[in-house]
A and B are shown apart, each in its own frame.
Chain A
Amino acid sequence: MNSVGEACTELKREYDQCFNRWFAESFLKGERAADPCGQLFRRYQLCVQKAIKEKDIPIEGLEFMGPSKGKAEGSS
């Protein structure tokens, strides 16, 4: 899958590979080890956040999990 920033697709792939490995082998098994992908993530984010600003994509200021739908779920 491509990145919204054409130049970021390669950085995204590298990060995704690292993340997927950590996710499956560490996170889901309940290991508390912090993910080793921090640097890759930062490089990828620098690129993609710039592309997002350039394309004027309105992702700012939106509450996590969107407007609450009035359910009791909350943050369980």
Chain B
Amino acid sequence: VAGGTGAGGNDVQWCFSQVKGAIDDDVAEADIISTVEFNHSGELLATGDKGGRVVIFQQETENKCQPLSRSEYNVYSTFQSHEPEFDYLKSLEIEEKINKIRWLPQKNAAQFLLSTNDKTIKLWKISERDKRPEGYNLKEEDGRYRDSTTITTLRVPVFRPMDLMVEASPRRIFANAHTYHINSISVNSDNETYLSADDLRINLWHLEITDRSFNIVDIKPANMEDLTEVITAAEFHPHQCNTFVYSSSKGTIRLCDMRASALCDRHSKLFEEPEDPSNRSFFSEIISSISDVKFSHSGRYMMTRDYLSVKIWDLNMENRPVETYQVHEYLRSKLCSLYENDCIFDKFECCWNGNDSVVMTGSYNNFFRMLDRSQRRDVTLEASRESSKPRQVLKPRRVCAGGKRKKDEISVDSLDFNKKILHTAWHPQENIIAVATTNNLYIFQEKVN
């Protein structure tokens, strides 16, 4: 890992770097952040919101000679990716909310990303323009046509520098392939195809072709009354272009090999932790529903997030995870009220650091958790305006589950369940993290002495 970074967790002290977004408490629905994603180099950071807008930030290193110098992310481009629609045939509202953004690896000067709402995926090209042609023969600089009778000589137009302009244009629109709501998109390592998954089906697309896609998973039962499980997330393996996984609302993960057959309804591997049926409660299935699945960078492991825990699975072992981490175990005694206020259905995401040694996921009260696999330690941190002085080191937070509350601890009943951190992202190489609260984006960095 470049620059000796990558050891996250508790040896690293995290400092506030930047916060983006408005301070006011009255949050417009459109400003709710719905996805956060670094590109492959970490130079660009994209966010999507409920209003269908994408904002891209670019990292600017203060001092290129010092590898660990403080770098800031500033607005690079912003555009309206999706707009609200209404399906008149089915009387269904199609929200403009951006569910996921995935970057394509960079092939040339331009950057490409896929953004999706519930029904339509779009490929956006983000390109820079820093020069423009000047010296046309037939036109003035402002565009007016010159009187041709006044032209006595010819000149060759030349490119002259101009202020940098970043343009975003939709290059492909992949529509009409999903009856249900898209929850995931994942670019294949072959850089030619990608998958999109909705509640019941997964489709395979070619990036160049918009008028057709191949259905590779279909779990819709013949009779909808028999429906017991939906697809919650899907991802391609980072290196093996034939392999992908999808998770379900019943807590299982299926690994599929596209070489086995055209329709991957039969999994190659089924990852499921056994459970004693007598231990099941009303909540068991709901809290086992997997809200996110992510392969490690190495491709050897995958991580799943369910309501209360994060699990690390070895792809070579299907019958149980190799590691389980409690995210907020103190919520187990609050499941009744969390069901009543719908919080039990919140979909938290999770992410790996660059060298797969630490994983991160969000929680309530604007807390987020860093789980260090190699050091066997974990820490709870908070994204708040109170801890946002420049380079302020984040203090670990503790939640008191019951009994006597120690000083500096917060009791479970005081947690704000409206302040959820659902989306987080980790820079692919450095210890820089992006944490989204409801409508603000926090950027934290490793403390540099």
Q: A and B bound?
A: no
- Where the two chains meet, the residues of B that have a C-beta atom closer than 8 Å to any C-beta of A are none
